[in-house]
Structure 1
Amino acid sequence: MKTLNDFRESLNLEQPGSGLSVQLNSLWYDARGDWGKAHAQVDQMKDQDSALVHAYLHRKEGDIWNADYWYRKAGAIRPDLSLEEEWEQLVLQFLQLKPKV
């Protein structure tokens, strides 16, 4: 999967595509309306990328205090964007990353 359109099209599938990062899996489940499964993907992860997705999920949930905590863990601040715009930016960011070896 290389483009945002590819990712959006994959939302019609029953499961996320193979080879996606944990962050993209989380964003996939979120877009499918399964916040709990999206959260479970990143909940125990310690890296900054996962913290950023974790922050977005708590922002979406409406738990701003917790979201801001996770944005700080990610080395970021809460963006002044709609949730849809933030979701799209996150997907684009993680589609650009090379798989870690």
Structure 2
Amino acid sequence: MTYDEFIFSIEHADTIPDKLDVHLQALWYDAKGDWQTAHNLIDHLEDRTSAHVHAYLHRVEGDLWNARYWYNRAQQPEYKGDLKDEWEQLVKMLL
């Protein structure tokens, strides 16, 4: 799937596309405004990529302390830019 196809699915589909990994699923639900589903998909996973997405989701929530914890677990620097930019970078990295 390309980035443009991913965006199209967010803008025009009511159901999540098949064959997205859990990280992209979480970012898809986040873009659809369903933070809780996005968080539920990620919060129990232990790998670094999940921790990175988890950190982003806590930034969305406004819980910066928790976001910093998850950036540390992901071994990633804390993102200081716009949430939209971070979301786009994560999606492009994962596609």
Give, in angstroms, the shift of residue 72 of structure 1. 0.4
With normalisation by structure 2, the TM-score equals: 0.96
Matches within 5 A, 1:40-79: 40-79=40-79
- Mark the runs of 5 or more structure 1 residues left unpaired by the alignment: 96-101
- Mark the runs of 5 or more structure 2 residues left unpaired by the alignment: none
In structure 1, the residue matched to 2:13 is 13
Matches within 5 A, 1:74-89: 74-89=74-89
Please tell me the residue identity of whatever aligns with 1:17.
Answer: P
SS in 2 for 1:81: coil
Deviation by residue 1:40-82 (Cα, 9 ceiling, x = unmatched): 0101011100100000000111000000000000001211210
CA RMSD of aligned residues (A): 0.7
| Structure 1 ranges of 4+ moved more than 2 A | none
SS in 1 for 2:51: helix
SS in 2 for 1:55: helix
Relative to its length, the structure with more helix (as a share) is 2
State the aligned residue count. Answer: 94
With normalisation by structure 1, the TM-score equals: 0.90
